[in-house]
Structure formats: structure tokens, C-alpha cells
Amino acid sequence: MNKTKQRGSLFLMANLGSEISRVFSSWRKGNKELLETSVNRSNKIIDDLLADEQMKKRASEILILRDVMDDLVKNNLANYRINEAQLQSYFIPFALRVMSK
């Protein structure tokens, strides 16, 4: 059994939300090293999600999340105009479901 199936897509989505929060935090602080580390971890989680059969139907959504992160890293939020609060709101249901299990 691969790691994605062991952890589950719900767990991965909740962790992606946490990691993207770290991306925003490090971006705000101007901490390029932490930003790069958080982006790399986020991309790894996104890769795991894209490899998960249960997430195939949501692949375009997952790829948009990657694009949003890329925009943030490039300091160009104009492509999607998504802010931190909106992303946090998107991920809250995943975190709540993981916590309730």
C-alpha cells in the first residue's frame, strides 16, 4: 500500500492547508528559506494528491492550488486574486473532518 492510501486524501488536504498557511506566513515575514521549504512540502503533498485515484476527479482543482502557490512565490497574486483568508476558509472543512475522525 502506498503512502497516499495509508494517509488518505482527506489527511493530505488538511496537511496541504497547513503547509499553505506556512507559505503565506514565511512570505509575509520575507523568510525565503522557510518559504522554499514550505513550497517544496506543499508541492510534494500536491503530487501525492494527484497520484491518489480518489482525487483524479479533482485534479484540476489541485493544480489550481499549485498555481496559486506559484503566484504567491513569484509575488504575483494578480492571476487568481486569492488571499490568505480565502485559502484558509477553503481548507477548514478538511481539517475539521480529520479532527473529527
Domain boundaries, given as residue ranges, for the chain = 8-100
Task: Read off the pLDDT of residues 39-89 as tens digits, 9 standing for 90 and up.
Answer: 899 999 999 999 998 898 999 999 988 888 787 777 655 577 777 888 889
Q: Which of 31-35, 46-50, 65-69, 92-96 has the lowest mean pLDDT?
A: 65-69
For residue 19, how many other CB atoms are within 10 A of its CB? 21
What pLDDT does residue 99 have? 87
Contact 80, 67 (CB under 8 A): yes
Task: Find, among 46, 49, 45, 37, the residue nearest to 73 by Cα.
Answer: 37
The whole-model pTM stands at: 0.82
Across 70-94, b (16+ Cβ under 10 Å) vs e yields ebbbeeeeeebebeeeebeebbeeb
